[in-house]
Chain A
């Protein structure tokens, strides 16, 4: 039986965590790590508090006109006026290897990962985009 993924002694956040695939408890992909949330502790130290996912996290990282466009379109397509950025609490992470493993599933997390977002709002509205079993 393969070893369960654990944690490294150190992480270079950009190299080892950003853009990694998040994998749910069911083994299915959840989203990519688009940014990290760092909590400023009372003593001034910065602690990892969450993985941030989806256009609300990726857009600012891309920056420029494309990044602003990404965030703007995402906000317009969301029902709430000020949608929160997708967030996976750090306490849910069980380990890392080439991916980041979490205890929850995509449905439990209720995330709007960029790929799911593109599929739902860009690809699926295109006529003929669905699977045709016949």
Chain B
């Protein structure tokens, strides 16, 4: 494999993270529960072995939670409180609860949304 195997970007089955970020998240009955705010990767030991482990769902289509929803990010308490308030209701959908991804329609159908727990972001 060459150092910059750029043609691979067009290979079948290759998608972009950006196509997932901001996508509408709906339950199987069609109820909208939020948008994809971030994508959690797990696995290893090297980057090519990391798989999407789940999606972090926020109420807003744009603007990340700035990491304030995740334990390892500390900051001024007022910022944390305000961002937390603005993004209240954030959740986590484990991969096994992702039923379908409509890449062209930017829509993800899920079975459920779990609470976003601090433990999700373990180092």
Residues on A close to B: CB < 8 A?
7-15, 18, 35-41, 45-50, 52, 57, 60-61, 84-93, 104, 108-111
Residue of B nearest to A94 (CB): B46
CB contact under 8 A between A7 and B38, given known A12-B121, A40-B14, A84-B9: no
CB contact under 8 A between A18 and B70, given known A50-B8, A92-B3, A109-B4: no
Q: A20 to B58: give the CA distance in the assembly, Å.
A: 22
Say yes or no for B13: interface residue by CB 8 A criterion: yes
CB pair B40 A48 closer than 8 Å: no
| Residues of B contacting A: mostly | mixed
Residues on B close to A: CB < 8 A?
1, 3-11, 13-18, 20-21, 37-42, 44-53, 56, 64, 67, 70, 95, 120-123
Residue of A nearest to B5 (CB): A89
CB contact under 8 A between A61 and B7, given known A10-B41, A46-B52, A91-B48: no
Residues of A contacting B51 with CB < 8 Å? 41, 45-48
Query: Which one, A14, A15, A36, A89, contacts B16 given CB within 8 A?
Result: A36
